[in-house]
Amino acid sequence: MRVPLTCEPFARYAEVRSSKLDAVTPPETRTAGPSWARGALHRALVALPLVAGLATAGWLVAGRDQPAPAPAEAALTAPAPVSGPSVLQASAPVRAQEPAQGAAGGGGGPSPLEQWAGSLAGPLDIPAPALLGYANGELTMRNEHPDCHLSWVTLAGVGQATRDGAPMGLSPAQWKKYGAEIPGIAHPALSDPSSASVAAGRALCASGVDLSAGNGWWKAMSGYHNGSDMELFRQRVLGYAQLYATLSLDPAKSASPPVRATRFALGQLGLPYVWGGNGPDAGAAGFDCSGLTKASYDSAGVALPRTADSQFRALPPVARGQEPQLGDLVFYGNPATNIHHVGLYLGNGLMINAPTEGQAIQIHTFHTPGDDYAGAGRPTG
């Protein structure tokens, strides 16, 4: 029995064979890589992995929900192309709550910075020693590289993106160059969160860029980690840094369904788009667009319909002209006839998006001129 799906791929897309995002580099410096996931930096827009033959101004996806065609029919039925956002504007995380400063009281209690880290550790789901290290990294860079404007949330994003590798993802060469001497630490060690965070901050600020500006932030991330998974690394850092910044300003929302759904969606970055896919827990390599949003809210205890169109019609709408909030769903299509695509809003003009076949789940700018953005909806538990 066929099940109605959404985000139907344009029939000429190739089969997904990789879940990694390629590095995004200027055209004049780009080198050959896997063909399905190449991007380009152009006019301050980061055009993320697009299948060969598509324009960077928009992706092609299905124009309507309908049952999945049998494999033999796929090459004969190409839905009408429609436009949607397919770029990631160079963006830095939003301004976060600043670390507290000051000496400890005479009674030997915790310092203001330690109190700050302790108050945010739970809501951010970051151990207090690590959070204290990220803050020390920012504060040290304020003295050493004041024009760099490094935020602790960027260091926290790096820490999350590299949690399964070396501390802060520092290479031996980076640690030797930037970690030899740390202010206030007699014997710096890579295992010490403050030592590692200061070394990471120095590495990020070494090129003289301004990390409060989007282009500078992306350049710093490229210089910090330039492996084959650079683009996936940058997206993970940006996604988690944006989440941490938002939660630092409103930590009471940390356990809310929108935040839990957003955390789930961020955890899927790099998985392949799979038409009709409901994710690895359901036996698929990845998700399609509405499969991702449904699974994200399922993880938060909120049930959503399966397709983009049905989700659009089931949710309370966000008022026109009002920016969506973290966890809102953003829709594309014609509200009067059919909604063909959906993403999960991350904040700062960004969404977590399962675009179409041949691409990985990634972060995109949610609304660009000429797209068919139809509005946002707000799931409620």
**Average pLDDT of the residues in 362-366:** 94
Backbone angles phi and psi of 259, in degrees to 5 = -70, -40
> Given pLDDT bands bounded at 50, 70 and 90, which one contains residue 90?
confident
Q: What are the start-end ranges of the E strands in the chain? A: 38-42, 45-50, 87-89, 329-334, 338-347, 350-353, 362-365, 373-377
Q: What is the pLDDT of residue 54?
A: 22
Residues 6+ apart with CB under 8 A from 364: 48, 85, 86, 87, 88, 343, 350, 351, 353, 355
Q: Confidence class of residue 100 from pLDDT cuts 50, 70 and 90? A: confident
Listed range (22-36, 66-80, 146-160, 287-301) with the worst mean pLDDT: 22-36
Dist. CA 79–CA 67, nearest whole Å? 12
How far apart, in Å, are the Cα atoms of 87 and each of 47, 66, 118, 227, 365? Answer: 5, 27, 37, 22, 6
Confidence class of residue 45 from pLDDT cuts 50, 70 and 90? very low
- For 47-81, how does the pLDDT look when each residue is reduced to its tens digit (9 = 90+)? 334 222 222 223 333 333 333 333 333 333 333 33
Q: How far apart are CA 49 and CA 189, in angstroms?
A: 38
Strands (E), 51-103: 87-89
- Percent helix / strand / coil, the chain, rounded to 5: 35, 15, 50
State in Å, rounded, how far the first CA of the chain is from the last one: 31
Predicted TM-score (pTM) of this structure = 0.81
CA-wise closest residue to 324 among 261, 265, 367: 367
- Would you state the pLDDT for residue 332? 95
- Average pLDDT over all residues of the chain: 80
346: nearest Cα among 122, 155, 21, 88: 88
Distance CA 364, CA 86 (A): 7
CA distance 287 to 268: 9
What is the full DSSP assignment across 118-142? HHHHHHHT--HHHHHHHHHHHHHHH
Question: Which has the closest alpha carbon to 265: 304, 215, 221?
Answer: 304
Residue 36 has pLDDT above 80, yes or no: no
| CA atoms of 163 and 219, how far apart (whole Å) | 22
pLDDT per residue as tens digits for the range 189-217: 999 999 999 999 999 999 899 999 999 99
Q: Specify the amino acid at residue 260.
A: R
Query: Is 90 exceeded by the pLDDT of residue 3?
Result: no
